[in-house]
Structure formats: structure tokens, C-alpha cells
Structure 1
Amino acid sequence: MTMPRTTALTALMAALALPAMAQQRDLTLFTDASDPAPKAAFEQLVKGFEEENPDVKVTVNTFDHEGYKTAIRNFLTADSPDLANWYAGNRMAPFVNAGQFTDVSDVWEENGLKESLAPALSSMTIDDKQWGVPYTYYQWGIYYNKDVYKQAGVEVPKTWDDFIANCEKFKEVGVDCLTTGTKALWPAAGIFDYLNLRTNGYDFHMQLTNGEIPWTDDRVRKVFAEWA
């Protein structure tokens, strides 16, 4: 049985680790980097890579974000590319368990990535093997409006209790304490992730998202109580 070629490697960093080929070969990358800035960045990477590796022709197929979430379930089975981007942690586990991602532990070892990308190692590791290489990151932050804080006469909170007390002050001046966009559902889920990680810790969070702990667990109920 031939192992699928697809790996969770998302940048052409992975391709840089491939041995030089004597004959022309094609390298196919599927990505949802459809926004203008990341798309331009990928195009620049591809151009630079092809200049350094004239024996490799890179084909990039770009999908919109939401469409990609459905498409990846199909193309990994029917016509898997060499490289595809996807999410780390428990989001990649089903594809790893189905044998649709390739073990790239050797890439980590040969390029010293366990040291240089140490903070991301755990999220790329399943069964003590690495199944992808991170190419970017972004923080899920909660921002505050300095003008509104001044209007309410409060300081930036340093503790949870300070934060809750500030919310009461915001209500008095007619301002919502928190707001987030939920046209897509994942931003709301991100708030739960934040609260659960802080309330119950990383190990519990991973066990919960892996289905090892029921969502009716009292510790989960505690998170929703904090959210309320």
C-alpha cells in the first residue's frame, strides 16, 4: 500500500528539505491562503523557491477559507497534493489517524526544529511523531478601548475580579463589556478555549477536545459559569 503523499506542512520550508531531483518534477500545494496579503506572500515564496530549484515546478491551488474545510476531506482521499495547510493539534488528528498525513519527524530532526520551533512542537506531535511544520502563527487577543476605559473611569484589570468589577462600570456608562464577531462560529469557540485553558489547564483542554472527557463534566460547566 502506497502511503499518501500529503503532509500538514504548510510552507515551502518543507520543500526546501527535499533532495534535489535530476529531472523536472512537480510540487503541488493546496492552501486556503486566499486573503491578499498571505496570498502574495505565498506567491513570493513560490517564486523564490523555483528560482533556487529550477528542476521543480510548483503548482498552487488556492481555496476560499470555508470551502477549503470541505474540500480537504475530498482531495486528501481522491487526489492528494504534496503539501497542504491545515490546523494543528486536535484538528489534524483525524487526518493523521486516517493515514492521510505523512510523518515528517525527520524534517524536524534534520533542521533542528525541535529547538527553533519548540513552543509549537506539542501541537504538531501525535504518538511522539511530528505531522506538520508550522509556517505562521497568530494570537487570539482581547483588545481594550482606551477611550472607553477613560470614559468609565477604570484601569486596565490585572486580575479576573478586577475585570468583572470593570464590567459593572461599563454597564453604568452604557457600554458592552465584551463583544466579538460570530458570523463564523469559531470566534465564539475561541472564547471558550481561552476560558477553559485558564480555568482547567492545557491537559484538560486537550482531553476534552479529544473526546476523552464529556462536555457535561462539572469542570466544563464551571467554564460556562465563568463565561456567563
Structure 2
Amino acid sequence: MRQIVLDTETTGLEPSQGHRIIEIGCVELVNRKLTGRHYHQYIQPQREVDEGAIAVHGISNEFLADKPVFSQIAREFLDFVNGAELVIHNAPFDVGFINHEFNLLGASDFQPIENYCGVVDTLVMARQKRPGQKNNLDALCKHYGVDNSQRDLHGALLDAEILADVYLYMTGGQRNLLLAGDSDDESEADAGSAGGLVQRLNVSRPALKVVTATAEEVELHNNKLASLDKASGGSCLWSAD
């Protein structure tokens, strides 16, 4: 299964007020493994960035002055995500902005992103798992032990990398570990990712000691199972032959 963890930064909060995308960041997962492939682009929004937005992501109008406009990057962006399942935190926000940009280009060339991709909202997932608690990205990093120390400001690619970690913990209980000697592509992802997305297992360590139960411990165990079997009317599965 191919998934794209995606985040955007924008000039403001509402596309209905003319706000635009200024940064897109995506990282690719295939069968729950990071491939090392990503898409990242800053975009000239053809309007001023709100001061409140700059305070959040730190991307200035001056920085964006020489960046391509959305129409120049739309096709390569769509080619990267097409056919994948998008994993987004608070998906209506990002999807709304992407569809707004596509609408500005003309319906004959670009359809709503949902026509090309499935969408998973990790905010909805988090609220189901942690009702009544804070479920922004920083809170989820703290809960799942994901390192977000480099996240002084919001940034689309960094946030997508961090969200990939959070998503894998949220949906699997434990991240897939990359063993030494695995593919070079994933090794490169480890070296290049800002969030430390690929964790390694030290396979050079000594073999773990195997400790077997003593005869006394086995007897105590069997007695406990017999007691459970009696209390459940013979329904103790662990004592079945």
C-alpha cells in the first residue's frame, strides 16, 4: 500500500478569503515503510502572507518572491501523490487549500484531490483514541515519544516527517525498525530526514539470555491454570490440550 504523509503551509486560514498555499511537504510510505522519496516545494502565492501566519511558520514574503507559482508545480505535485492514500493531520484544512488551488487552474485540467487519492485524517483518529485530550501534533509527539525538538516553527516537510512517525505509532503500536543491511534507499532516508524517521536496531549486541521456567514454577503455573479452569466451568483456553 502506498501512502503519502502530507502537510502544507499557507498565507492564512481561509481559502475563501483568497489565501493560498506557500509550501507543500510530502513523504512516501510503502507497506508502512519509509522509502526515502519525498516531495517538497515552496510556492509564490501571488499575494501577501498574513503576519499571523508568518509568526507560525516563519516564511516571509521576501523568501517567496522568486519561488514558482502553483500552476508551475501543480502537475509534478499531482504526479507524486496520484493513486496514493494521503495521511494528513486535520485533513479538511489541507484538502480545502489544495482543491482551491486546483479550482483556480480550471476544472478541465484538475479535479478535486479526492478524485485522485484516498484521504486519512490523523486528527480524527487521534480524537477517537484520545477523547477529550489535546491532539495537535506536538501533543501527539509527547504522547508517543516522537522527537520534535527541531520543530521551533511549523514547516511542511518537517511536519510531514514527524507526522509519519506519529501515524506509524498510532496505527501499529510500534514503529517498524530498520535492521542493518536493509536497503540503501531506507538508509538514505535515515540519514536525510529531519525527524530521525528511520530507527536502527544494534544487531552487534550479544545474544539475549534464554531463561527457562523451573520445575517449581511450571507446577505453580499448572496449578493456577487448573484453578482458572475450575472457576470457568472448564472454559480456560490456556489449559486445553
TM-score tier (shorter): under 0.3
Higher relative strand content: 2
Computing the radius of gyration from Cα coordinates, the structure with the larger value is 2
Q: TM-score, normalized by length of structure 1?
A: 0.25
Q: TM-score, normalized by length of structure 2?
A: 0.24
